[in-house]
Structure 1
Amino acid sequence: MPAFGTVSPRDEHNLALVAHVHPPDWTNPTPAPRYNLVVIGAGTAGLVTAAGAAGLGARVALVERHLLGGDCLNVGCVPSKCVIRSSRLHGELAKAAELGFRIPAGIEVDFAAVMERMRRLRAGISRHDSVSRFSKELAIDVFLGQARFVSSDTVAVGEAKLRFARAVLCTGARAAELEIPGLAEAGALSNETVFSLVERPERLAVIGGGPIGCELAQAFQRLGSRVTLLHDRGHILDREDADAAEIVQSAFVRDGIDLVLDARIERVERRGREKIVRVVVGGASREIVVDEILVGAGRTPNLEGLDLERVGVESDPRTGVRVDDRLRTTNRRIYAAGDVCMPTKFTHAADAAARIVIQNALFFGRRKLSSLVIPWSTYTAPEIAHVGLSNRTAAERGVEIDTFVRRFEDVDRAIADAETEGFVKVHVAKGTDRIVGGTIVAAHAGELIGELTLAMVSQIGLSKLASVIHPYPTQAEALRQIGDLYNRTRLTPGVKRLFGRLLAWRRRS
């Protein structure tokens, strides 16, 4: 992330962003005698923790060394989704003839305008995470600077000493530095720098076939770059449902992305302005020449400078701060939430964890992280959304399941929208209607997964979804139709014979 409140390029939108989330003229307040909660890190987990605790009457200090809003606002969810939205127009234009429009040749992507739009929208959204809002509206003491523990109940920020009853570590994570010979010397983009681009790289190599790499690879391909995606496995999105990943991989091929799978990168070199990625695939060497390299693989927890050892907080440079199921560290006065300690590194997971921390740290609560049902969505085109168990994880855990599938090619609204690619797949515990997981592949899968998640959280069985009236026509009807599929399995031959006899008797009466 840009250091100490600086971002690039220095235009009106980024100046507005910085004015909100790291104002240059900010003066740290005089510390209170003691705080109920000192929150270190002002990303999603930190902001939710601080705001929630203050709303309940706690005296709260919030410490941030970079930009309030963290990765999500500044270099993650918000900018990436703005850019992805622009790139999706490519897919809509590809369907123009099918929808009855003739698009003239010669339409061009104005990459600078795409990025300017992103910066403008990000600056507007940043008001919600601003220093002004948290300090004035929420009455939180905001300190800008590096936090470090100096004793079991005190955090120092510069010369200021913040005494606490409880502290929460919410310092997040950053892009991992891959140990590829020559990569550092050649230079590479990450999610922390790619959104500062003002010129489109004509040739772009993306390292990593997980969610971040895939989202940005497809977006840049659709915005006019020639993208090569390198992944060390045989399939992109290999942690997702295999059928879902196959659909997205086919979409990438249609979009013209050069997929280099089962790839082992030997080294990276510079040749003038070009960057050369030397890779081995299937025993054969290949040279990929590009203008830029984007690393979209791996995250490293932000642990530096905190002096955790001084207060007995155990951590690992790969997995982050060690916490128990109640998000308490090895120091009983200190908790953690978000990417710095959790394997599920999503904004909404950090938000949910922060709510657990508020209860457990302030009110002797005993809520557990393992109690959460956390969905996720990968914002490719089509999107993949998932919650709970998949076929693979169910098999690994020895959970027997029944699976029901409804394809969008059979859903009326998807047909009308020319968005028939994808499916809804729901898993139930074998012989029951108890939902244990599901995957949705659709143009707007992320908008649909919430209903399935609600059913799991509220222990609403799949049979009940059939009785939920959905407006017609909507793509969400696929979920009701899945419920219908389950209910049909309850019509056993014996039940059908019984119904047949009953109806025959009714005809005679």
Structure 2
Amino acid sequence: MQKFDAIVIGSGQGGNPLAKKMAEKGWKTALIEQRQLGGTCINDGCTPTKTMIASARIAHLLSRSETWGVPNQGYTVDLPAIVARKNNVVEQFRNSTAKSLEKAGVTILYGTASFTGVKTLSVALNDGGTQELAAEHIFLNTGAAPYIPEIPGLRDVPYLTSTTLQDEVVVPPELIILGGSYIALEMGQLYRRLGSTVTILEKSPQLMSKEDPDVAAVIKKILEAEDIQVLTSATTEKITGGKDNIQVQIQTGGKSAAITGTHLLVATGRLPQTAALRLGKTNVTLDEKGYVQVNEQLETSCPGIYAIGDVKPGPAFTHISYNDHLLLYKNLFEEAALSINTRQLPYCMFTDPQLGRIGLSETRARQEGYPVKVAHLSMDKAARAIETGETAGFMKAIVHEHTGQLLGAAIIGTEGGEIMTVLQMAMLGGITATQLRDMIFAHPLYAESINNLFMTLEK
């Protein structure tokens, strides 16, 4: 039995920096990783998808270049080159992570960890054999994996996930996507721009069910403008077929329909990876979906065992996982007593244009009883958007009617996430809508239209 001060299970965007900092503080620290260093973000999520989305945007701009007075002689999509570029970026990030951990003195073990007792672990090493470990502080960072729903016939056809689709080196001629949330929409637009015919099937009445209806409607309109077929209130009844010939039987609007395609992407959500941990050997409590339950300091029901990142309930974003590590580090080493209940939750969907979100939606604010005013500015009224020729989307801010404080914002537009971040900082600093209306912004930035956004409250 090898004893450590701390063991981190999973090399995600919270686990890596936490392991590094604990080791640098003198704690004997082990990091156990089942696959590759970097977790979902570097290997399957943010890094590879945004790298490929950048390539798809170039293709899209080339297809529309005459709009800007720059006709071209046509272009081709070299998907193997796009995938190779993606793989190179992933490898670069992964290697940087490894060097950082090794320099800090973290012991890295590649294998599958499972509890044998409250504070003891057995690691089935990838290269054979097992290793027994123990520590007083254990951090669960095992993340989540694609959820595959129980649809008749689904497991009998060659379906793809967001992970496996990215390794395809031939553009799928006809891509059917189950799901209508962030991953589904990003991947749908990405492969449409690379040349796929894309159909998105969402069982709920609107895309992105957690967003305001006007936000979902505009995103749907943007996707449909690129000839993506979007079907909402579409219940999948069964799936049949085989390689390059898949049929999805759906029920929509009280009628049955058959959707055919060459490839099927399942993007119906993710579930936590907790089964292999054998948490029954501990006092750690899981919820009905298998997520690790934590308190506001990220500690589980078993003292000394913590959970960070997507393995716990709540928003599954890389930046939240990273903030989890900061909170834990400051609480453990600086007695900061920070809570997850008081932090901001910004996020961005990287369709083109982007959706940047912070704080309460209009729907949620009204449900919670806030007296609200809504500032709204269409992007075709924003000078910078008009000048660049990219006018899809809008800016929307939820404002407390009496105090002028910002409660939330949704920005759909080019660099929408960056504009949202300006408003996020205003919220953190207590800057009011009136102050933002009168603030000096450099001309002609997208952010300058924040002036005009809050002028709409006067109408």
**TM-score range normalised by the length of the shorter chain:** over 0.9
Note if contact 1:61-1:142 (Cα within 8 Å) is conserved in structure 2: yes
Equivalence for 1:309:
280
Aligned match for 1:282, one of 228, 248, 253: 253
CA positional deviation for 1:363: 4.8
Q: Secondary structure at the match of 2:177?
A: strand
Cα RMSD for the two superposed structures: 1.9
Equivalence for 1:163:
134
Equivalence for 2:101:
134
1:124-166: CA deviation from partner (whole Å, max 9, x where unpaired): 2222222x4312x121111111112223332232443333221
Equivalence for 1:70:
39
CA–CA distance in structure 1, aligned partners of residues 244 and 359 of structure 2: 46
Aligned match for 1:51, one of 5, 12, 20: 20
CA positional deviation for 1:40: 0.9
Equivalence for 2:48:
79
CA–CA distance in structure 2, aligned partners of residues 440 and 324 of structure 1: 32
The farther-off stretch of 449-458 and 235-244 is 235-244
Amino acid at match of 2:112: Q
CA–CA distance in structure 2, aligned partners of residues 352 and 84 of structure 1: 25
Amino acid at match of 1:122: V
CA–CA distance in structure 1, aligned partners of residues 392 and 403 of structure 2: 29
Aligned match for 1:391, one of 359, 362, 378: 362
Amino acid at match of 1:248: I
Equivalence for 2:127:
none
Q: Secondary structure at the match of 1:441?
A: strand
CA–CA distance in structure 1, aligned partners of residues 332 and 214 of structure 2: 42
Q: Which structure would you say has the larger Rg?
A: 1
Aligned match for 2:57, one of 64, 76, 88: 88
CA positional deviation for 1:272: 6.2
Amino acid at match of 1:66: R
Count of residue correspondences: 454
CA positional deviation for 1:302: 0.4
CA–CA distance in structure 2, aligned partners of residues 425 and 284 of structure 1: 36
Equivalence for 1:21:
none
The farther-off stretch of 220-229 and 154-163 is 154-163
Note if contact 2:371-2:402 (Cα within 8 Å) is conserved in structure 1: no
CA–CA distance in structure 1, aligned partners of residues 204 and 189 of structure 2: 18
Aligned match for 1:200, one of 156, 171, 182: 171
CA–CA distance in structure 2, aligned partners of residues 303 and 314 of structure 1: 11
Amino acid at match of 1:59: K
CA positional deviation for 1:94: 4.4
Aligned match for 1:341, one of 286, 305, 312: 312
Note if contact 1:383-1:446 (Cα within 8 Å) is conserved in structure 2: yes
Call closer, same or farther: CA 1:65–1:331 in 2, change over 3 Å.
same
Are 1:101 and 2:67 an aligned pair?
Answer: no
CA positional deviation for 1:459: 2.3
Are 1:355 and 2:339 an aligned pair?
Answer: no
Note if contact 2:158-2:242 (Cα within 8 Å) is conserved in structure 1: no
Are 1:240 and 2:240 an aligned pair?
Answer: no
Q: Tell me, which stretches of 5 or more residues in structure 2 are unaligned?
A: 125-129
Within a 5 Å distance, the mapping from 1:457-468 to structure 2 comes to 457-466=428-437, 468=439
Q: Secondary structure at the match of 1:192?
A: helix
CA–CA distance in structure 2, aligned partners of residues 59 and 424 of structure 1: 49
Q: Secondary structure at the match of 2:91?
A: helix
CA positional deviation for 1:174: 0.3
CA–CA distance in structure 2, aligned partners of residues 467 and 151 of structure 1: 61
Equivalence for 1:506:
none
CA–CA distance in structure 2, aligned partners of residues 102 and 286 of structure 1: 40
Are 1:116 and 2:84 an aligned pair?
Answer: yes
Amino acid at match of 2:344: V
Q: Tell me, which stretches of 5 or more residues in structure 1 are unaligned?
A: 1-29, 490-509
Amino acid at match of 1:189: L
Equivalence for 1:34:
4
Q: Secondary structure at the match of 1:61?
A: strand
Amino acid at match of 1:145: G
Q: Secondary structure at the match of 1:68?
A: coil
- TM-score, normalization by structure 1: 0.85
Note if contact 1:301-1:317 (Cα within 8 Å) is conserved in structure 2: no
Call closer, same or farther: CA 1:319–1:455 in 2, change over 3 Å.
farther
Are 1:177 and 2:148 an aligned pair?
Answer: yes
Equivalence for 2:119:
153
Equivalence for 1:497:
none
Call closer, same or farther: CA 1:49–1:480 in 2, change over 3 Å.
farther
Aligned match for 1:322, one of 270, 279, 293: 293
Equivalence for 2:404:
433
Note if contact 1:248-1:381 (Cα within 8 Å) is conserved in structure 2: no
Amino acid at match of 1:150: T
Equivalence for 1:372:
343
CA positional deviation for 1:63: 1.1
Within a 5 Å distance, the mapping from 1:478-493 to structure 2 comes to 478-484=449-455
Identity %: 28
Note if contact 1:303-1:317 (Cα within 8 Å) is conserved in structure 2: no
Q: Secondary structure at the match of 2:356?
A: strand
Within a 5 Å distance, the mapping from 1:388-467 to structure 2 comes to 388-466=359-437
Q: Secondary structure at the match of 1:320?
A: coil
Within a 5 Å distance, the mapping from 1:217-236 to structure 2 comes to 217-236=188-207
Note if contact 1:39-1:169 (Cα within 8 Å) is conserved in structure 2: yes
- TM-score, normalization by structure 2: 0.94
1:166-214: CA deviation from partner (whole Å, max 9, x where unpaired): 1111110000011111111112100121111111111110000000001
